[in-house]
């Protein structure tokens, strides 16, 4: 019960701090690789990174100019949890959710919160628009930076993801992917 109360309190602080400081959309850097089949049926590796994810989004949604788009780790991106989103670099609006990171603390699962309340390790399940069920998982470590009043004034997230992409308009074969990511400073927008 104590850990549940702590997690709830930490989430409230994180969301309050994130909103107050405009930190709910963090810049993110993703790097990894996906295994897939080449035209000869051999398993080959292809890179997955910010550019490849934005390129695939653009190809499947008829977008020709990527310069106005970016990727963001969106703390509390929706009611289910955090998201990794394609956003407008101009105003920060979410254009499309690539990955939903959900249900890590549901169904009797729990996260691990440090005694100081400054670090949280958790496992979340990865959801995409390809399936109503999880297509992978992410091991996340959240770091919370607190001000002198104990309020969260910055959040930093490290993640390791393993997921699949089923055949679609961009990929003829299944991709089995592994990637790591880290968040940077919050996005800033000229409203």
Q: Is 103 a member of any domain? A: yes
Q: Is residue 75 part of a domain?
A: yes
> Could you tell me how many residues make up the chain?
191
CA quadruple 127, 129, 131, 135: dihedral, nearest 10: -30
Looking at the 3D structure of the chain, how many domains does it have? 1
The per-residue DSSP string of 50-114 comes to HHHHHHHHHHHHT----TTEEEEEEEEEETTEEEEEEEETTT--EEEEEEEEE-TTSTT---EE-
Q: How far is CA 18 from the centre of its chain?
A: 15
Tell me the two tokens of residue 14.
């994180």
Indicate whether 190 belongs to any domain.
no
Q: What is the pLDDT of residue 170?
A: 86
Residue 93, CA distances (Å) to 6, 13, 65, 188 in order: 31, 23, 17, 11
Whether residue 98 contacts residue 87, with contact meaning beta carbons closer than 8 Å, is answered with: no
Q: Please report the pLDDT score of residue 85 as a whole number.
A: 98
Cβ–Cβ under 8 Å, residues 61 and 69 = no
Look up the domain containing 118 and give its range. Answer: 2-182
Is residue 132 in a domain? yes
Instruction: Give 45's DSSP letter.
Output: E
On whether residue 188 sits in a domain, the answer given is: no
- Determine, yes or no, domain membership for 46: yes
Is 191 contained in some domain?
Answer: no
Q: Is residue 54 part of a domain?
A: yes
Separation between Cα atoms, residue 17 and residue 15, nearest integer Å: 5
Residue ranges of the chain whose pLDDT lies below 50 = 1-22
Residue 125 CA to residue 52 CA, distance in Å, equals 22
């Amino acid at each position: 019960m104590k850990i549940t109360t702590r997690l709830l309190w930490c989430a409230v602080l994180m969301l309050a701090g994130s909103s107050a400081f405009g930190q709910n959309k963090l810049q993110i850097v993703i790097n990894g690789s996906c295994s897939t089949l080449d035209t000869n049926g051999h398993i080959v590796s292809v890179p997955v990174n910010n550019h490849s994810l934005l390129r695939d989004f653009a190809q499947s949604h008829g977008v020709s100019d990527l310069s106005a788009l970016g990727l963001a780790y969106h703390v509390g991106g929706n009611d289910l949890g955090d998201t990794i989103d394609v956003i407008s670099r101009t105003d920060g609006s979410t254009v499309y959710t690539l990955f939903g990171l959900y249900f890590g603390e549901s169904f009797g699962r729990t996260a691990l919160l440090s005694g100081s309340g400054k670090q949280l390790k958790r496992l979340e399940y990865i959801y995409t628009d390809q399936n109503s069920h999880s297509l992978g998982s992410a091991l996340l470590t959240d770091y919370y930076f607190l001000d002198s009043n104990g309020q969260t004034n910055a959040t930093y997230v490290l993640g390791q993801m393993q997921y699949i992409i089923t055949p679609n308009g961009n990929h003829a074969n299944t991709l089995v992917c592994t990637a790591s990511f880290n968040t940077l400073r919050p996005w800033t927008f000229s409203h």
